[in-house]
Amino acid sequence: MLRPLKYQSILEHGVLLARALTTASAGTAPKEIQKHDKPGQLNDQDFDALRRRRKTEWKRKQGGQSFLDNLIVNIRGGTGGDGCAAFHREKFKPFGPPSGGNGGRGGDVYILPTPHLTTLSTIPKRIRGEPGGNGQGTWQNGRNGSPLIIRVPLGTVVRELPRDDPRRAKDEWEAEEESMEGLTPSVKRDKMRDNRWVHYPRYSEANVQRDTFKDAEAALYKQERERRLARRKRALQEPIYLDLDKEENIERAIDAPLGIKQHEPTGHLIASGGLGGLGNPHFTSPLNRSPKFATRGHEGERITLSLELKLLADVGLVGMPNAGKSTLLRALTGGRAKSEVAGYAFTTLNPVVGVVRVADDGKFEGGISENLVHDETWVEEKHEREKMESGEYAQALTRNQIVNKENLEETPRPLDSSLRAGHHFDLVETFRFTIADNPGLISRASENVGLGHSFLRSMERSLALVYVVDFSGPAPWDELHVLREELEKYQPGMSTKARMVIANKADLLGGNGDPAQVEEAKSKLRRLEKYVQTEMVIHHSNTDASSDIFLDVVATSAKFSQNLPKVVSLMRTYVERAREHLV
């Protein structure tokens, strides 16, 4: 299918740009962009390849600054509702008592960690709590604002920015002072009164002349000063710092009375809503029996937070672009991890986390499917469309039909033959761990080359790191040297978490079984193992050599799921040991 001609000029310009970018980075243009059906038209394959490549190049030019694992958020609690200045009126009572209701309290803002999110992309940069309702006559108070819950992924670190940080937004008092700069004292005084008081119609000028109003105004300013000092003291002595690495669960008491609703967890309070304004009955006194003024609601707390996401992955994959990390993640998770796989660099633009589920006998969910090939994303999508268009899925059995067919068979099948991915694997699962796939790391990444390595903050909490190198390349040991150096530049000591080296794409060596080529591949693997044993040793002590850690080397083919059971077994061992030390 060809793209319509209305895309002609845009796509022609895009093709030229893609060719230039490809020539500069890889030396030649990809095959899918070199061919055309007609001038000004692209087929689906060309169009998808062009779209993905332009997206990747745009991401690379950001220098790692657009990763959604570090976010500055300005938060305001809900503003309180205004109080009401009213008087009760009914038959035979033309001059009733003051009856203005109080304003409702503004909604508080909470932050709650949840395992259902893996990125900060759903969090807006400006968050406002729900305002409270205004008071009304006949003593009707305004409703309180509902609390606002900000849901963030597990592993988010929340920090309050200090007052001297230029990224910090001004609080409510500083914002008011800034809005009144350059005004005369009389105009400034009038504006401050308008922000704080509600007057009965046609009584604003008379109210400000009364001594009772002046006394109430002095008391209001005194309360504001006390709140402002308390806020500053809290920000200096106890700034907000939350390490949200655990999900919050509220356990209901066993002896709780029946019929009481169980409330869901709201998380941690980070911004309180403003108090509601007071109605005019609050200002009734022996000297003023009919006060004709009320107060407005207070503004909610304004606070600026820094959210930093450090994914809680048990194992982190570190490797060069096109080393096969995304394909490896898909193979280990049985295709559940939705990572992009393509034949050009920087295909992975954000960290991706997948779950590996393991049975007691060592089988894992991604390894129970036979003859499964993990190809490039566009190839798999093309095959899926062809199956749907040909009607191949029309005759496919449903899950219930498959189960019924197995139950009706006379000869019982062994457990392994009926074991399938998905919820069927729940019956045999005994252990699980998570794996994080990071974007490609290249030499001089610390100088903002490629995507940089700002995304490595998501790997700081990994229990173990695994190097993934392209075994079909000329010198995979040089890749290991670069990867270790970049990890140390990012955070000294981070490379000591490494536990294994995966020599991926081993299927590209050995040819068609030619003995000479097979021996050459084995010699290359031995050289890699020797380099790892001599140059990649982790020394925990300068005196005790017995505490040294030697990295395991495993040759794999993620595309054809070869030698992955050994990888899963070793990863499980690393995670179990690390978790024992954490306990």
415-444 pLDDT, tens digit per residue, is 444 566 666 777 888 888 888 887 767 665
For position 398, what pLDDT does the model report? 64
381-406 pLDDT, tens digit per residue, is 666 677 777 777 666 666 555 555 55
Q: Determine the Cα–Cα distance for residues 321 and 65; give it in Å rounded to an integer.
A: 18
Mean pLDDT, range 325-350, rounded to an integer: 68
More confident: 420 or 469: 469
Q: Beta strand 464-470 with 315-319: parallel, antiparallel or unpaired?
A: parallel
Instruction: Say if residues 358 and 570 touch (Cβ distance below 8 Å).
Output: no
153-212 pLDDT, tens digit per residue, is 888 999 999 999 999 999 999 999 999 999 999 999 999 999 999 999 999 999 999 999
For position 453, what pLDDT does the model report? 62
pLDDT at 144 over 50: yes
208-266 pLDDT, tens digit per residue, is 999 999 999 999 999 999 999 999 999 999 999 999 888 877 777 777 777 777 677 88
pLDDT at 346 over 60: no
Averaged pLDDT score across all residues of the chain: 79
pLDDT category, 459, cuts 50, 70, 90? confident
Instruction: Say if residues 419 and 425 touch (Cβ distance below 8 Å).
Output: yes
Question: Read out DSSP for 469-505?
Answer: EETTSS-HHHHHHHHHHHHHHHSTTGGGGEEEEEEE-
25-56 pLDDT, tens digit per residue, is 444 444 444 444 444 456 666 666 666 666 65
Q: Which two tokens stand for residue 402?
A: 């498959």
For position 557, what pLDDT does the model report? 87
pLDDT at 62 over 70: no
List the Cα angle 415/418/423 in 5-degree steps.
100
> Cα–Cα distances in Å, from 529 out to 100, 471, 491, 532?
82, 12, 26, 5
pLDDT at 17 over 70: no
For position 268, what pLDDT does the model report? 93
Nearest to 161 by CA among 233, 239, 270: 239
